[in-house]
Structure 1
């Protein structure tokens, strides 16, 4: 049997492209979907699919990154399929693990994908460190200026209710308490 799996990261995104490709690949009645990030392995559609797939079945995906974003998850899923006697086909990458060469190509792509992810993380961290060294303030902008913080402290110290001060400055009480407890 052919099982299809399609995933997008958010409810705003459409599964249509993937569903069309999976239908064309012969998965029509057995397509499982998720609208969740690929970072987590815990996805209801994927878990249900994996609970049903068995010997001589094939899991078909539009692209490998639909079943997993990280090296470990991709390897674990491929190993789980192999243990069950099932195969994996990626339509976009042209991978079919039912052949020896398909299995090798799949493993190589996983290694390169993991390498690429690590390089991106290294570049991002280097860029952040360089920006910090140049004195760039990272993170979101503060909700309040130092003058506003001084003023709200004075208001609270003068006896004005904290809930009222927070409302006047259009900040949450947590933000108010954080500014009251620092410096």
Structure 2
């Protein structure tokens, strides 16, 4: 029966050390860490490795529930997976311990709030983009492909595949640019 920790931040410029220290203080023997968004389980290889490795009687510790999941679906899937394996979940900064009924209830409530927060952030972002577009400020992402070069190469007889290979872009991008013309 081992105690494992999981630390996560969303971006590469964020620091994991505070979480790692808290997990070590909570008695974690092994701590898996990663710098990747928590809005989905995709790309979270350290979490997947840990979830596969955990055995009956082990405990998974995180500092806050939003380090584990940002959607109620992902959280429920993870918690169900842990429960099926006989693994306990503890959260150091919130009163969550799946060994107790109150801890389980609080876990579900926090999961709902984490998803709500993510949805609010997306709504605010979309509102901001809509306002910027209305003012003519927002023009979308920066165009990274030299459109003139694509058109020039195409007019010189190169195929979309050849253009994509030469410019190191996807063929779909080349087709989109050629369709604009």
Between the aligned partners of 1:80 and 1:129, the Cα distance in structure 2 is: 40
Q: State the partner residue of 1:41.
A: 41
The alignment of Structure 1 onto Structure 2 pairs a total of residues equal to 165
Between the aligned partners of 1:16 and 1:57, the Cα distance in structure 2 is: 23
Q: State the partner residue of 2:58.
A: 57
CA contact (8 A) 2:65 2:107 kept: no
Between the aligned partners of 1:131 and 1:117, the Cα distance in structure 2 is: 21
CA offset at residue 127 of structure 1? 2.9
Q: Any unmatched runs of 5+ in structure 1?
A: 144-148, 163-171
- CA change 1:124–1:52 in 2 (3 A) is same
CA offset at residue 76 of structure 1? 0.7
Cα deviation code 1:40-97 (max 9, x no counterpart): 4142221222122232321101122222222221111111111122221111223212
Cα deviation code 1:3-32 (max 9, x no counterpart): 1111233444332211111111111x3222
Alignment partner of 1:25 is 2:40? no
CA contact (8 A) 2:70 2:111 kept: no
CA contact (8 A) 2:70 2:118 kept: no
Q: Could you say what secondary structure the match of 1:135 adopts?
A: coil
Q: State the partner residue of 1:96.
A: 97
Which aligned pairs between 1:33-182 and structure 2 lie closer than 5 A? 33-42=33-42, 43-140=44-141, 182=180
TM-score w.r.t. structure 2 length? 0.71
Q: Could you say what secondary structure the match of 2:115 adopts?
A: helix
TM-score w.r.t. structure 1 length? 0.71
Between the aligned partners of 2:5 and 2:168, the Cα distance in structure 1 is: 48
Between the aligned partners of 1:3 and 1:38, the Cα distance in structure 2 is: 19
CA contact (8 A) 2:88 2:99 kept: yes
Between the aligned partners of 1:44 and 1:57, the Cα distance in structure 2 is: 20
Q: State the partner residue of 2:161.
A: none
